[in-house]
Structure 1
Amino acid sequence: MSGDSWINARQCKIIVAVITVIYVLYMGNLLFFKGRTVGLSYQYNWIPFETIRPLLLEREKYITEAWIKNLFGNIVLFIPLGVCIPVLFRKCRSFLKLTVIVILIIFEVELTQLVTRVGTFDVDDIILNTLGAWIGYVGLRILVHVERLRQPSI
């Protein structure tokens, strides 16, 4: 059995598919329902690093909870995308294809938030969420590599 054959195993795909459904439901609730109300106006940021820059350079202006939620929450919550997508969709196992798919998914979420006025459209969220997916992808690739090294040579 090769080091990445487990990633193609039916049982693995079923487990990851179930986890993905739970993840999508959780994220849908978090992004569109939990504590969210429809705003009166559209709120958006199209300028890259406009909200990230102050979080990094003016840390003292933010309470710790808001700082962690806005910076790290946007990264950590999207780590599963970098794992689930390549496991479930073989064609999305390259870094470039994963990146394109993740950006499209996140852009769609942000656009939906803008149109429904639930949350805000923020290009910095796309950047941070994509970074989270990249972390998940790198973690998956490391896991596959380690598993490959553990396999006996014939």
Structure 2
Amino acid sequence: MKKETKKKIQIVSAGLFLLYLICLTYFLFFVESLGRSYAEREYTYNLHLFKEITRFWRYRKELGMAAVLANIVGNVICFIPFGAILPVLNRKARNFFMILTLSFEFSLLVECTQLISKVGSFDVDDLFLNTLGGVLGFLLFTICNRMRRKHYG
């Protein structure tokens, strides 16, 4: 691949990653329709893995599938861009364990910020689902990168 093309890909990827971070911040901390507000709230947290996932699934009829999908699938989907774009920006991130670690750390930062700011809650299920999303994003990057290399040599 030409250096000019690589440079353009880097610039576009950096712009997309910045846009992703802005959108993620907005949805995680400011969208009131998702229960994000700074009203008098208590600290809420879940430290039992799969507790909230199980609860959402068990009460899916009462909650509605939209709420279940928003919680479970939404947490995965929100981190797919993280795992897919980061390896484009930094060659050192083209490693499964690096993406796994960075996805977990970034998710932990988000969850701790939610706990401290009392916007949302700290949930280990979210840590798991977000990390899974980052790993799936990396898998998507890996597949696309291999297809590109195979097609363009």
One-letter amino acid of the structure 1 residue matched with residue 54 of structure 2 = R
One-letter amino acid of the structure 1 residue matched with residue 82 of structure 2 = L
Q: Which runs of 5+ in 2 are unaligned?
A: none
Alignment partner, residue 90 of structure 1 = 91
How far has the Cα of 1:98 moved from its partner? 0.8
**What TM-score, normalized by structure 2, do the two folds share?**
0.89
| 53-62 or 134-143, larger mean C-alpha shift | 53-62
How far has the Cα of 1:55 moved from its partner? 3.1
Alignment partner, residue 135 of structure 1 = 136
**What TM-score, normalized by structure 1, do the two folds share?**
0.88
Alignment partner, residue 79 of structure 1 = 80
Higher RCO by CA contacts (8 Å cutoff, separation 6 or greater): 1
How is 1:9-48 mapped onto 2 (pairs within 5 angstroms)? 9-35=6-32, 36-38=36-38, 39-48=40-49
- CA RMSD in angstroms, aligned pairs only: 1.8
Q: How many residues align?
A: 148
- Give % identity: 33
Residue 47 of structure 2 is aligned to residue 49 of structure 1: no
Q: Which runs of 5+ in 1 are unaligned?
A: none
- Considering fraction of residues, name the structure with more helix: 2
Alignment partner, residue 119 of structure 2 = 118
Tell me how far apart the structure 2 counterparts of residues 40 and 132 of structure 1 sit (CA, whole Å): 28
